[in-house]
Copies of this chain bind each other. A is one copy, B any other.
Amino acid sequence: MRIAIDAMGGDHAPDVVVAGAIEAAREWSDTTITLVGDSNRIEAMLGDAKPANLEVRHAGEKIEADDEPVKAVRRKKDASMVVAGRMVREREADAMISAGNTGALMTMGILVVGRMKGISRPALAPMIPTLDGKGILALDLGANMDSSAEELTQYAIMGSIYRKKVEGIAKPRVGLLNVGTEAMKGNEVTKAAYGLLEQAPIHFLGNVESRDVLNGPCDVLVCDGFAGNIMLKSLEGAASTIFSALKTELRRNFMTKLAAAVLKPGLMKFRSSFDYAEHGAAPLLGIDGLVLKSHGSSNAMAIKNAVRQARIAIQNDLVQSISREISNGSEM
């Protein structure tokens, strides 16, 4: 297997990306890893630690976190992210991973790797942590702010195949993000999507309310990018606000500090289960190749885990399976 990694993307690039790539190359000797970016810097960091199955490909530019996506992808043809994407398009790599600018990565996926035939809009599908540890794959959580009922149905099919192929869930439960559980709840789009989802080749549970999401009511949650982002940022915001207020509460006086010391290990573990950065890379589904988005704040372990995910997806023919299902559907 050949996996390309955008060495220049992410808050701590290229250091942690290179470190993660080294670990991944050491762990999986059957996989060739190509670090794409400033070859001088990367080679200097690698030094004598470079495993035999780790390559470097030079890319003279990089896309910054605040670059305007479409402009950046169009103009920076030699950006590390774009070069890695081209490797996927040219079948020089079976997958690529980037922790860089999310909007640019989605744009790159469409413009460079290319949309999958029959797919109207590719979707970004991160894992939302749940209390049971299993997580919910939610899509779209990318840039598709207004999605049609047909697009939501495609998200459902793609997300379902992902959890089946990459995580071995035999019959992923699909939910539609909505404001109530009854079929006729919601806005015009969710009402129309409900009917289509009932007909789709998936295990559709019905509507899921955002208040239940952390309890893991489904395996795949379908939403447009607007509602999905509102939900995700509300969950993150509430968790972060509550934990920081709790911290203040625990520091109030001597007695509460003592109590806090007793509780610390448990609380730390509990806190980390709400940490969105620790739940793997998000696949960009619906493009003609495998592209994974690592969290911007990824550490070396996160990069290595993204390689693990990519390997499983490649081994299980994720992209081909989605393509098959979508072309079946389009004949319906």
Please state if B187 and A211 are interface contacts (CB–CB under 8 Å): no
Contact B213 A237 (CB under 8 A): yes
Interface residues of A in 254-269 (CB under 8 A from B): 255-256, 258-260, 262-263, 266-267
Chain B nearest CB: distance from A52 CB in Å? 44
The one of B235, B236, B246, B249 in contact with A237, judged by C-beta atoms closer than 8 angstroms, is B235
A210 touches B233 (CB 8 A): yes
Task: Give the bracket for the number of chain A residues in contact with chain B.
Answer: 35 or more
Residues in B neighbouring A256, C-beta threshold 8 A: 262-263, 266
> A272 near B: Cβ within 8 Å?
no
B188 touches A146 (CB 8 A): yes
| Nearest CB in chain B to that of A211: its residue | B237
Residue numbers in B under 8 Å from A252 (CB-CB): 266
Name the distance in Å between A61's Cβ and chain B's nearest Cβ: 24
Q: How many copies does the complex hold?
A: 2
Q: Which of B187, B224, B242 contacts A242 (CB 8 A)?
A: B242
In the assembled complex, the Cα of A327 lies from the Cα of B229 at a distance in Å of: 36
Contact indicator per residue, chain A 209-224, by CB within 8 Å of chain B (1) or not (0): 1111111000000001
- A residues 186-219 near B (Cβ < 8 Å) are 186-188, 190, 209-215
Provide the bound-state CA to CA distance between A294 and B179, in Å. 20
> Judging by beta carbons under 8 Å apart, are A231 and B234 in contact?
yes
With A242-B274, A259-B260, A266-B249 as contacts: A235 and B233 at CB distance below 8 Å: no
Asked whether A131 is an interface residue with its Cβ less than 8 Å from the other chain, the reply is yes
- A78 nearest CB across to chain B (Å): 27
A1 interface residue (CB < 8 Å to B): no
Tell me if A210 and B237 are in contact (CB < 8 A): yes
Q: Check A28 for interface membership: any CB of B closer than 8 A.
A: no
With CB as the reference atom, state the residue of chain B lying closest to A264.
B259
Contact B214–A238 (Cβ < 8 Å)? yes
The verdict on A169 contacting chain B, using a C-beta distance below 8 Å, is: no
With A239-B238, A246-B270: A230-B179 Cβ-Cβ less than 8 Å: yes
Q: Which residues of B contact A209 (CB under 8 A)?
A: 233, 237
Partner of A230, one of B234, B236, B255: B234
B225 touching A213, Cβ below 8 Å? no
* A233 interface neighbour in B179, B186, B233, B267, Cβ under 8 Å: B179
Interface residues of A in 165-199 (CB under 8 A from B): 177, 179, 186-188, 190
CA distance A190 to B146 in the complex (A): 11
Q: Quick check: is A240 within 8 A (CB to CB) of the other chain?
A: yes
Q: Report chain B residues within 8 Å CB of A212.
A: 237
Q: How far is the CA of A262 from the CA of B255 in the complex (A)?
A: 7
A242 to chain B, nearest CB (A): 5
Could you tell me if A236 and B249 are in contact, using CB atoms closer than 8 angstroms? Answer: no
Is A250 in the interface zone, CB < 8 Å from B?
yes
Nearest-CB residue, chain B, relative to A259? B259
Which 8 pairs show the lowest CB-CB distances between chains A and B?
A211-B237, A234-B234, A238-B238, A259-B259, A145-B187, A211-B233, A179-B229, A210-B234
- Given contacts A179-B226, A238-B239, A256-B262, list 8 more A-B pairs with CB under 8 A: A145-B187, A210-B229, A239-B242, A245-B270, A256-B266, A258-B259, A259-B259, A259-B263
